[in-house]
Structure 1
Amino acid sequence: MADTMHGGEEHTRRDFLYLAAAATGGVGAAVALWPFVSSMNPAADTLALASVEVDLAPIQPGQAIKVMWRGKPVFIRNRTEDEVKQAQAVGLAELIDPQTDADRVKAGKENWLVLVGVCTHLGCIPLGTNSGEAKGDFGGWFCPCHGSHYDGSGRIRKGPAPKNLQVPEYAFLTDTRVKIG
């Protein structure tokens, strides 16, 4: 009987040693991996720009500006009535990435278009925001890197880009102030 009890104690000690070694190894692995996991979080300067407020008052109809948000350019265009009507008149069958103009703007503020200014093909910055820049075949934006053409609603119409320009999360704080992010 003493042998059985002695064998049972050994088995218990061995199990304890295995568990203690595994726990120590697990904690050690977590401590070693933490810097790598932590490095994947956004940088402090990016988090500081989590949202940006923009005064829209100086932007005249037909004009556009470029602001930076989270390290990316954002295009804000005050579209004319004709530009809004043209964008609304486009049939979904004509679009590579079908999306209505109404899905890309805020109701009641259809003249204001807010887009992330990064081409969805390979990440270049399209032209068409500044005065005198090429706006492409559809009056919106033109990506000079590979020839993508976007319309006045930021929808891809021609070229290698697979998707429309992204619409960021934004909200109007007042009639002349918008918060992006």
Structure 2
Amino acid sequence: MDQTPTQQQAGITRPEAPEAPAETRRDFLKLTTGAFAAVGVGVVAWPFIHSMNPARDTLAMATIEIDLSPIAEGQAVTAMLRGKPIFVRHRTAAEIQAARATPMSELKDPAPDQGRVQRDAWLVLVGVCTHLGCVPLGQRAMDNRGDYGGWFCPCHGSHYDTSGRVRKGPAPTNLPVPTYTFISPTQIRVG
């Protein structure tokens, strides 16, 4: 029987496979291509995302500051915020007393006066009737202030008291109190 020598007996050795390096050129190219693709998506998407930010004129209208020092006791001013009138009234002691003396049972939308003001003398309201969105009278001394000395909406006959609470008429709720803060003793920021 003829015996063929094995490769090892014949002195033939197989070369061992070299160990693969941890990062090959192909891995580097994949990583680089992925990074460029991510940057490209960001460059294309940024204008779209940025277009969703509010415009500068909208941001400028987001808050207003009102100087209270020229407003005499018993006087009211109107400012505009986002297209809505903001009523600021420097209430007299009699107006504050009338608002505090009102029993909650007489109110359509019960709310204590103390919960509607930050400082007793200053009342800040959104001047839009809660019935159909009219602007009530009562900001000027010559205006009809209604049966309760606050505001009167002549369109449908809603009457508000000296705290902006609805007392009579079709309006379902009180005049809203906007978000505001005193930034000094004589200045407020609304919005």
TM bin, normalised by shorter chain, reads 0.7 to 0.9
**Distance in structure 1 (CA, Å) of the matches to 2:126 and 2:54:** 18
Corresponding residue for 1:71? 83
Matching of residue 123 in structure 1 with residue 94 in structure 2 = no
**Distance in structure 2 (CA, Å) of the matches to 1:150 and 1:129:** 12
**Distance in structure 1 (CA, Å) of the matches to 2:128 and 2:56:** 22
**SS of equivalent residue, structure 1 residue 163:** coil
**Distance in structure 1 (CA, Å) of the matches to 2:87 and 2:57:** 21
Conservation of the 8 A alpha-carbon contact between 1:46 and 1:71: no
1:140/1:43 CA distance change after superposition, 3 Å: farther
Cα RMSD, aligned residues only: 1.5
**SS of equivalent residue, structure 2 residue 137:** coil
**Distance in structure 2 (CA, Å) of the matches to 1:43 and 1:73:** 21
Matching of residue 92 in structure 1 with residue 104 in structure 2 = yes
Corresponding residue for 1:53? 65
Q: Structure 1 length as normaliser, TM-score?
A: 0.74
**SS of equivalent residue, structure 2 residue 78:** strand
**Distance in structure 2 (CA, Å) of the matches to 1:53 and 1:133:** 25
Matching of residue 103 in structure 1 with residue 115 in structure 2 = yes
In the comparison of the two structures, how many residue pairs are matched? 141
Q: Structure 2 length as normaliser, TM-score?
A: 0.71
- Percent identity, aligned pairs only, is 59
Instruction: Encode CA deviations 1:17-63: one digit per residue, 9 max, x unaligned.
Output: xxxxxxxxxxxxxxxxx9xxx6xx97754432111000000000100
**SS of equivalent residue, structure 2 residue 105:** helix
User: Which has a greater percent of helix?
Assistant: 1
Once the two structures are TM-superposed, the CA of residue 130 in structure 1 deviates from its matched residue by 1.3
**SS of equivalent residue, structure 2 residue 176:** coil
**SS of equivalent residue, structure 2 residue 97:** helix
1:44/1:143 CA distance change after superposition, 3 Å: farther
Decide which moves more: 43-52 or 77-86: 43-52
Conservation of the 8 A alpha-carbon contact between 1:78 and 1:112: yes
**Distance in structure 1 (CA, Å) of the matches to 2:135 and 2:184:** 29
**What are structure 2's unaligned runs of at least 5 residues?**
1-47
Matching of residue 145 in structure 1 with residue 155 in structure 2 = yes
Corresponding residue for 1:13? none
**Distance in structure 2 (CA, Å) of the matches to 1:119 and 1:49:** 22
Aligned amino acid, residue 79 of structure 1: R
Aligned amino acid, residue 180 of structure 2: Y
1:73/1:42 CA distance change after superposition, 3 Å: farther
**What are structure 1's unaligned runs of at least 5 residues?**
1-33
Aligned amino acid, residue 176 of structure 2: Q
**Distance in structure 2 (CA, Å) of the matches to 1:115 and 1:146:** 20
